[in-house]
Structure 1
Amino acid sequence: MNAAAASASSADFAASTGTPHTLPTIGADAAVTDALRQDLTDAGFTVERVDALWGAEAAASLHRGSRVAALRALAARDTTPLGTLATLFVLGLPVRRADADAAFPSAGVQSVEASGLVRVDADSVAPAVDLRPYAFVDDLGAGSWWIVSDLGELALGTALGEEHVLGIGGATTTLSGLQVPVPVRRVLDLGTGCGIQAMHARRFADEVVATDISRRALDIARFNAQLNGIDGIEFRFGSLFEPVAGERFDRIVSNPPFVITPRSEGVPAYEYRDGGMVGDALVETVLIGLGDHLEPGGTAQLLGNWEYHWGTDGLDRVRSWFERADTDGLGLDAWVIERERQDPTAYAETWIRDGGTKPGTPEFDRLVGAWLDDFADRRVTGVGFGYVVVRKPRPGPTRAGSDASRSLRSDVAAEPVGRGAAHLRRFERVPETLGSNPAGLGATVARVLDAAAWLAAHDDVALAAAHLVVAGDVTEERFYWPGNDDPTVMALVQGGGLGRRVDADTALAAFVGACDGELSVAAIVGALAQITGVDEQVLAADLLPAARDLVLDGLLVPAA
């Protein structure tokens, strides 16, 4: 079947079955999901083999919204079970009934139809959902699943419906990479969608509670868990923390419906991204509610948007939310990373296009106008996007000698607490490095939180007595003017984590070079003072804060 024939077949099937956008009811019958899992396994329906069907160029073309190259590559082999499944569920095109029968020998086409995955005509079978393989790597090793979600714009040929259940995208992989890979008892996935974060969380948790305001999303999430043989996830219906009132968790993960949408008539409110509140109020509500639902020592990892208003920085708004949430004097440790900031027009265009409305159409222009009117009325000058990491400190005795007025670094405020250590309050912009490779950042998150706790427990006297070691991924760069013996620029470069680059002077470079775990910080500072002839107290005043920064960022680590 060539590309033109496939498109015509898709249109013919839609005409014969009525409205093509009617969302199917998804049913998770154990016998069917077990049989379907066997069929997908036997067909080799994996990321690697699907990519091999049409090659890298066609895969890139698919990502840009065109399936012509993939269809041309499939022309000679689209009747194999693998080719049939790829055509049906990845390309979103109908296949011949005989080919579908061959692709589902265990489950049977009728059972797959009864589960809501396909629509069957006399001689053809069309997709009712998107079902595709997904591969990942975490601290437990490599894994692969199959994920059901709603058909996208490419398959529908029109804008998405408001009840659309989103599949796997960039935000999915980012948040799954941010999850701390430490075993815990209970995890909450707030706004589970297709269930992918709950499934990731289950790999490190005894039990997971997954909530959503969409019953259909919960049906799909339940189906995905069952299709992949994952138990231990409880699915609950309700808004935000209502389904878990009075409960606490060791970890909370959430890709909430944070998109800022005008509350105007005629503007679609997509369940997967719109929380129904004005501006960034939903993200504020979620962050403020975390403290009531985290166990002491518990953590949260979330994605979110925050607004910039006239005269008000977006990160300052987020900082104020945590300050208002500190009602009991215990507060929360918070690390907020802004990866991107968009102006109002770019933000509006991005999310209108995300819903399937194409630029150049009257509807697109109308929606852009509605977005810009809303931003202008509320004096919004931009929108930030990024990641939020939270920890609820464990209560404990006040540490004697701590200097709560001193920051751990320039963008981290240490605040006194009635009981326990100073807070980590870190608000920073990391525009490129973090977003480029989110996989494995959960380990970095865990390390930063541990480092912050260690620093809070060590005042300057304790830090001076500590022994530090240079992390194994740190290198030093030096640049010289031609003919000069002394470097003009020195920098410490982190190979992993966030890939930080720290400018260093001669004293800091020498200090870091001497951190091999043998000498204490005080001994190194004393030796450098003797060599350079600088007053030891003056040198310590410069190097101790720098050492704290490097420990927090992971370039230096406490010796075991």
Structure 2
Amino acid sequence: MTAVPDRDHPRPDLPLAQALAADLDAADFRSDPLRRLWGEAADDALGRGMREPVLRTLGARDDALSTLGRLWVLGMPQPLTAVEGALPRLGLSGVAALGLGRVDGSEVVPLAVIRPQSFVDADGVGEWWIASDLDELVLGTSLPADHVLGVGGASRTLAELVIGAPIERALDLGTGCGIQALLVSRHASVVVATDVSERALAYAELNAQLNGVQNVEVRHGSLFEPVAGEAFDLIVSNPPFVITPRVHGVPEYEYRDGGLVGDALVEAFLREAPAHLTPGGAAQLLGNWESRDGVAGLDRVRSWVREDVDAWVIQREELSPLAYAELWIRDGGTLPRDADFTRLLTAWLDDFDARGVTAVGFGYILLRRGDGSHPLRRFESITQPVSNLGRALAAGLAAHDVLATGIPPRLITAPDITEARHYMPGNDDPSVIELRQGGGFGRTIAVDPALAGFVGACDGELTVSQIAAALADLFEVPLAELWKEMEPRIRQLVLDGILLPAE
């Protein structure tokens, strides 16, 4: 196993970061060139934690891209001469000054990883260089408690959720390596990035410098302490929400553990966030919540949010205490074959038992500071595949606002909606009719023939009243009776994005 290297902080320095960026750009140190360099199969293997296929492909190549790939993607020492050739502007002294590597004899030893991270938003496709701490692939052992994580699955999930409207001020609470702050900086005039970890803030500042982002300000502190008295148009957070036993001997990783008992960190965020939102401002975050003593997790989350605040909470999965404990013990680098695994598992399960926890949910939270007159209160479980979530959430909020004044006079069926009818053998009438949403939340909604007929007739030409009257005649029922049955279901179809207001 590789020994944990010196734990110096990265040291942001704008001129040196600009020199490094120029060298990385000259070497074409980006995702696609790296993938072409060592091949798709090797790149996929690297994503699964195997670097040997990459090394076999690179062989003895010592060009700039190969050298930097080994040094900062794989985290492997490289010859001095090769690194000097790959970084002519930064130089070896610059590598050391930024805290990204150190000279050891005839080699440069990496003290961090730098990996390209591509993204897509409303403004197009782009890519950042993201520096973070050496990971398990490099260390070959459990992570240090102050580890600063790079861009992981949770970071990418949150990035997909964020509603990308132009705004003035944004807050990235618990910024880590700074990836969310960088992404939000593309549509915000000012971004404040906070963290309890000075080490994380150093990486966040360095990454902003490395990518030429000038509108990110870093501040140290817990939760909303660094922004007391301030309000923002958008708050994003991938907070350290992992539920960890507060027991001596259980590692507490800064990047995932908030230092509070159970799900108290997420509760504190939801109780405090509305006071830091401008009118119409939104907060978006990921979180865990516990089901305790017969009270479902989503119901507990509901109790944490003020009734006058718009709240949309989506539970994506729910794990048993055992499955949850195993997941995060493994995440810290301890496997079932290791001597500490049973001790850690016992601590986790004892902690859950002490609070009567029966399950742990994970999902997405969206809060918005509306005018309080008709707050959105939506708490749901969605387990099917989803896509374009930021756009879907924005559309859902817009639909809620439209419905405040009633169902629009004309509706159209969303272009991604299909209908499926299921028949029992020998029957001419369908036993089940389903509307299926092709994008967004991918909902499947069972409807009756009358509602299916309504949706099928929504082409923007006929008014809602005209369609309802025609259906009442067709099914030979009083219009008032039909409308009483259909009206709340039509509202829900609008809220779900099945039906859209006609232009």
TM > 0.5: yes
Match of 1:254 among 215, 237, 240: 237
The corresponding residue for 1:515 is: 458
The corresponding residue for 2:104 is: 121
Match status 1:503 vs 2:446? yes
Instruction: Map Cα deviations across residues 293-321 of structure 1 (whole Å, 9 max, x no partner).
Output: 00111111100000011211111110111
SS in 1 for 2:246: coil
In the TM superposition, 1:203-352 aligns within 5 A as 203-322=186-305, 325-326=306-307, 331-352=308-329
Match of 2:395 among 430, 447, 450: 447
Question: TM-score, normalization: structure 2?
Answer: 0.97
- Counterpart of 1:27, as a letter, is R
The corresponding residue for 2:423 is: 480
Match of 2:436 among 493, 503, 520: 493
Quick check: 1:21–1:161 contact (8 Å CA) kept in 2? no
Q: CA deviation at 1:482?
A: 5.1
The corresponding residue for 1:421 is: 373
Gaps of 5+ in 2: none
Quick check: 1:148–1:194 contact (8 Å CA) kept in 2? yes
How far, CA to CA, are the matches of 1:20 and 1:375 in structure 2?
32
The corresponding residue for 2:339 is: 362
- Counterpart of 1:423, as a letter, is P
Q: CA deviation at 1:289?
A: 0.5
Match status 1:172 vs 2:155? yes
Quick check: 1:476–1:491 contact (8 Å CA) kept in 2? yes
How far, CA to CA, are the matches of 1:346 and 1:100 in structure 2?
44
SS in 2 for 1:387: strand
Q: CA deviation at 1:559?
A: 1.4
Instruction: Map Cα deviations across residues 135-163 of structure 1 (whole Å, 9 max, x no partner).
Output: 01111100111000101011011111111
How far, CA to CA, are the matches of 1:542 and 1:126 in structure 2?
70
How far, CA to CA, are the matches of 1:538 and 1:91 in structure 2?
67
The corresponding residue for 2:383 is: 431
How far, CA to CA, are the matches of 2:27 and 2:427 in structure 1?
65
How far, CA to CA, are the matches of 1:237 and 1:457 in structure 2?
44
Q: CA deviation at 1:60?
A: 2.7
How far, CA to CA, are the matches of 1:292 and 1:182 in structure 2?
21
In the TM superposition, 1:383-422 aligns within 5 A as 383-394=360-371, 420-422=372-374
Quick check: 1:133–1:145 contact (8 Å CA) kept in 2? yes
How far, CA to CA, are the matches of 1:390 and 1:362 in structure 2?
43
Q: CA deviation at 1:89?
A: 1.2
- Counterpart of 2:106, as a letter, is D
How far, CA to CA, are the matches of 2:118 and 2:249 in structure 1?
38
Quick check: 1:421–1:457 contact (8 Å CA) kept in 2? no
- Counterpart of 2:368, as a letter, is R
The corresponding residue for 1:37 is: 21
The corresponding residue for 1:7 is: none
Gaps of 5+ in 1: 1-10, 395-419
The corresponding residue for 1:23 is: 7
Q: Which moved more, 1:54-63 or 1:199-208?
A: 54-63
How far, CA to CA, are the matches of 1:257 and 1:49 in structure 2?
33
- Counterpart of 1:28, as a letter, is P
Match status 1:55 vs 2:32? no
How far, CA to CA, are the matches of 1:373 and 1:429 in structure 2?
27
Q: CA deviation at 1:76?
A: 4.7
Q: CA deviation at 1:172?
A: 0.6
How far, CA to CA, are the matches of 2:334 and 2:63 in structure 1?
35
How far, CA to CA, are the matches of 2:327 and 2:409 in structure 1?
49
How far, CA to CA, are the matches of 1:556 and 1:269 in structure 2?
47
Q: CA deviation at 1:558?
A: 1.0
Q: CA deviation at 1:73?
A: 1.4
How far, CA to CA, are the matches of 1:319 and 1:275 in structure 2?
21
Match status 1:456 vs 2:408? no
Quick check: 1:152–1:160 contact (8 Å CA) kept in 2? yes
Q: CA deviation at 1:483?
A: 5.2
Cα RMSD (Å): 1.4
Match of 2:124 among 125, 141, 149: 141
Q: How many residue pairs were aligned?
A: 503
SS in 2 for 1:454: helix
Q: CA deviation at 1:456?
A: 2.2
Quick check: 1:162–1:268 contact (8 Å CA) kept in 2? yes
The corresponding residue for 2:350 is: 373
How far, CA to CA, are the matches of 1:275 and 1:20 in structure 2?
24
Match of 1:534 among 477, 480, 487: 477
How far, CA to CA, are the matches of 1:71 and 1:257 in structure 2?
34
Q: CA deviation at 1:478?
A: 2.4
Match of 2:93 among 80, 102, 110: 110
Quick check: 1:199–1:225 contact (8 Å CA) kept in 2? yes
Q: CA deviation at 1:88?
A: 1.1
How far, CA to CA, are the matches of 2:423 and 2:37 in structure 1?
51
How far, CA to CA, are the matches of 2:7 and 2:32 in structure 1?
29
The corresponding residue for 1:525 is: 468
How far, CA to CA, are the matches of 1:256 and 1:503 in structure 2?
37
How far, CA to CA, are the matches of 2:242 and 2:405 in structure 1?
38
SS in 2 for 1:433: coil
Quick check: 1:166–1:194 contact (8 Å CA) kept in 2? yes
- Counterpart of 2:26, as a letter, is D
The corresponding residue for 2:49 is: 65
Question: TM-score, normalization: structure 1?
Answer: 0.88
SS in 2 for 1:377: helix
Quick check: 2:242–2:288 contact (8 Å CA) kept in 1? yes
Quick check: 1:421–1:453 contact (8 Å CA) kept in 2? no
Quick check: 2:384–2:442 contact (8 Å CA) kept in 1? no
